[in-house]
Amino acid sequence: MNAEIIAVGSELLTPARVDTNSLYLTEELNALGVEVVAKAVVGDDRKRLAEAVRTAVSRSEIVITTGGLGSTEDDVTREAVADALGRKLVYHQEICDAIEARFRRLGRRMAQINKRQAWIIEGAEGLDNSEGTAPGQWIPLDERKVLLLLPGPPRELKPMFTRDCVPRLRKIVPPQVIRVRRFRVAGMPESDLDQLISPVYKRYSNPVTTVLAAPGDIQIHLRARSATNEEAERLLKEVGAQIEALLGDHIYSRDGQPLEAVVGRRLAVRGAWLAVAESCTGGLLAQRITAIPGASNYFKGGFLVYTDEMKRDLLGVSAALIEKETAVSKAVAEAMARGVRERTRADFAVAVTGEAGPESGSGRPVGTVWVAVLSPEGMRTEHRQWLGDRERIRILAAQQALDLLRRTLEHR
């Protein structure tokens, strides 16, 4: 079954505001087995909104509008929906009385303008608003089709949806189980990954596969629908196993956890301590590691050695080595890792040095990065050359360092 969500409000068409109600509604609808197939944002414009509602109800079984139910002239959802459906608005004195009572309880007099909220679409059911004045509306269009008008403020919308709409929707949505698997992959360009795995997942419409790419980090979401738990899990396993076979070691997470959490869990299980030395990433690596609650159980800290002087003074990297190899080199990355392990007595030391740009300080091209991991089993280094701006290179460098650490922890 398909749903569409229409967010109403001119403020959602400014650079300052984004519609977040639809994220909550999508989560709830997916849990019922309903797909959200389109979302729209429309300003406080009766004609445009009527048009959007007409289009949505013509093609989807569940249509939800959010916002525009308040008391001001700007609030045009009721009128627009009446236009779209060709139905009348009916005044409900009992709703007006309830709004007035609410104001009284708050020790205030109801402004006349609030009466606007007592108009309900012909054939609709009013939905109580426990957190505000504007009632929602449940408008059955036919046996398996419904239009829902919800208030805009999240704290009014959420309880109304959970309490009054979910149970009603359950009666019209065919029962269905949904199971999700979330793989995460490091160190692979999206196009390479997709070329590898799309021949697999394209063969299946269930589970549905979505590939989400961020710099150095790709998520693969498999979503299976079925009548039973077992069948949904079987579908996930069937497709998931083929994807795992193709991606192998590139997969770092099978439950959606970020790389820093995966690494943290492995360190904690092993009872090992980690320390870092960062040059070009300037704290980004440590910041990710310490974003995980409980990081103090395996992360000691380390060194920010942004200048050559700091590499020498804080980590004991020799001036001659920097002179000879430049600060962005295998030898310096290794010397940094050795320096940090010596000074912190951590079991694992990670070092990153590189040129993030926009200009090169070391003479190496912008985008050159060396990472080193010194473990009880020895030293490993990796070199990369990336294109992109400063932010992207720093993100990729931190990701590469974490991923080398992850692979070192997995393959000891």
Q: Which of residues 318-377 bind its own copies (CB under 8 A)?
A: 343-344, 357-359, 361
Q: Which is nearer to its own copies, 212 or 227 (CB)?
A: 212
Q: Which is nearer to its own copies, 140 or 301 (CB)?
A: 301
- Side chain identity at residue 289, one-letter code: I
Please say whether the beta carbons of 247 and 183 come within 8 A.
Answer: yes
Tokens 């709703």 appear where? Answer: 95
Per CB under 8 A, 87 contacts its own copies: no
Return the range that interacts with its own copies (CB under 8 A); candidates 18-26, 138-146, 169-177, 317-325.
18-26
Q: Which of 33, 140, 258, 282 binds its own copies (CB under 8 A)?
A: 282
| Residue 358, beta-bridge partner list | none
Nearest distance from C-beta of residue 293 to its own copies, angstroms:
5
Per CB under 8 A, 55 contacts its own copies: yes
Q: Which of 122, 128, 230, 309 binds its own copies (CB under 8 A)?
A: 309
Per CB under 8 A, 271 contacts its own copies: no
- What's the DSSP call for residue 138? E
Return the range that interacts with its own copies (CB under 8 A); candidates 76-84, 237-245, 273-281, 370-378.
273-281
Nearest distance from C-beta of residue 248 to its own copies, angstroms:
18
Return the range that interacts with its own copies (CB under 8 A); candidates 15-23, 81-89, 226-234, 402-410.
15-23
What is 93-107 written as a DSSP string?
Answer: HHHHHHHHHHHHHTT
Give the span between the Cα atoms of 99 and 114, in whole angstroms: 8
Site for its own copies in 146-175 (CB under 8 A): 155
Per CB under 8 A, 83 contacts its own copies: no
Question: Tokens at residue 213, please?
Answer: 């790419």
Give the span between the Cα atoms of 349 and 337, in whole angstroms: 5
- Side chain identity at residue 294, one-letter code: G
Q: Which is nearer to its own copies, 214 or 230 (CB)?
A: 214
Per CB under 8 A, 293 contacts its own copies: yes
Site for its own copies in 173-212 (CB under 8 A): 189-192, 194-195, 198, 202, 210-212
Nearest distance from C-beta of residue 25 to its own copies, angstroms:
9
List the one residue out of 125, 123, 13, 141 whose CA is nearest residue 67.
Answer: 13
Site for its own copies in 22-41 (CB under 8 A): 23-24, 26-27, 30, 35-41
Give the span between the Cα atoms of 168 and 412, in whole angstroms: 54
Q: Which is nearer to its own copies, 41 or 185 (CB)?
A: 41
Give the span between the Cα atoms of 140 and 135, in whole angstroms: 16
Q: Which of 164, 217, 278, 347 binds its own copies (CB under 8 A)?
A: 278
Residue 221: C-alpha distances to residues 182, 185, 198 (Å): 5, 11, 13
Nearest distance from C-beta of residue 398 to its own copies, angstroms:
9
Nearest distance from C-beta of residue 368 to its own copies, angstroms:
12
Q: Which of 113, 245, 269, 319 binds its own copies (CB under 8 A)?
A: 113
Q: Which is nearer to its own copies, 79 or 125 (CB)?
A: 79
Please say whether the beta carbons of 402 and 263 come within 8 A.
Answer: yes
Q: Which is nearer to its own copies, 12 or 146 (CB)?
A: 12
Per CB under 8 A, 295 contacts its own copies: yes
Please say whether the beta carbons of 313 and 305 come within 8 A.
Answer: no
List the one residue out of 152, 134, 142, 145 whose CA is nearest residue 169.
Answer: 145
Which residues are CB-contacts of 273 (< 8 A; sequence separation ≥ 6)? 267, 298, 299, 300, 344, 345, 346, 347, 348
Nearest distance from C-beta of residue 170 to its own copies, angstroms:
19
Tokens 């104001």 appear where? Answer: 103
List the one residue out of 151, 193, 189 whose CA is nearest residue 65.
Answer: 151
- Side chain identity at residue 188, one-letter code: M
Give the span between the Cα atoms of 76 and 150, in whole angstroms: 13
Site for its own copies in 221-260 (CB under 8 A): 221
Nearest distance from C-beta of residue 141 to its own copies, angstroms:
20
